[in-house]
């Protein structure tokens, strides 16, 4: 039987634990030559953009562990007995995954992991403290949010005048 990509549907949030369990079972059964590679898609990431117009939610794949290898009957049985595994699909009668599709999926998800968009909870008018940078420990008021740049324009008092400064969202802390 040729090697192919398989998808194991698992309980959401248990992906990494099940992957580790799979690796140990494969090692115990002496089948490490059958499975070449595992891939756990990143967990759900919900990005909430606070603005009067919209709330944007972006969700990645969760509840799946992918592996590339040869699935023999005894391995299939062992996988299906792991607590949290809901089912296995791929390369039987129904070919769900071609190598190119999975590689493209992995590359797109890895790029998303490298460049995550910042999540923030600020709205214009919120009082914030600047955590880092040349204006560290200054307190100001959010004037404008720039989600595409990952920054906010904050009005801080410098020498008695309100001065707008552009600060990265990750360097702001909301003050109640």
Q: Give the pLDDT confidence of 11-34 residue by residue, as tens digits.
A: 888 888 999 999 999 999 898 888
Q: What is the pTM of this model?
A: 0.52
Q: How far apart (Å, rounded) are the C-alpha atoms in residues 176 and 146?
A: 22
Q: Give the pLDDT confidence of 47-66 residue by residue, as tens digits.
A: 555 544 444 445 466 788 88
The topology under which CATH files domain 4-114 is: Alpha-Beta Plaits (3.30.70)
Q: Which residue has the tokens 């949290």?
A: 84
- Alpha-carbon separation of residue 59 from 7, 42, 93, 148 (angstroms): 19, 10, 30, 18
- At 34 the pLDDT is 86
The domain spans of the chain are: 4-114, 127-174
Given CATH 3.40.35.10, say whether it is the number of domain 127-174: no
């Amino acid at each position: 039987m040729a090697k192919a990509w398989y998808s194991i549907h698992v309980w959401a949030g248990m992906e990494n634990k099940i992957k580790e369990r799979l690796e140990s079972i494969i090692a115990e059964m002496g089948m490490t030559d059958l499975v070449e590679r595992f891939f756990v898609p990143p967990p759900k990431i919900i990005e909430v953009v606070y603005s009067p117009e919209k709330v944007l939610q972006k969700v990645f794949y969760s509840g799946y562990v992918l592996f590339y290898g040869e699935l023999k009957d005894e391995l299939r049985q062992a996988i299906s007995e792991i607590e949290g595994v809901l089912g296995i699909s791929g390369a039987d009668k129904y070919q769900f995954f071609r190598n190119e599709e999975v590689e493209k999926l992995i590359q797109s998800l890895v790029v998303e992991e490298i460049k995550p968009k910042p999540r923030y909870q600020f709205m214009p008018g919120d009082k914030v403290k600047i955590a880092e940078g040349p204006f560290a420990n200054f307190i100001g008021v959010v004037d404008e949010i720039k989600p595409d740049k990952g920054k906010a324009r904050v009005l801080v008092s410098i020498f008695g005048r309100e001065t707008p400064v552009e600060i990265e969202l990750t360097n702001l802390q909301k003050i109640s």
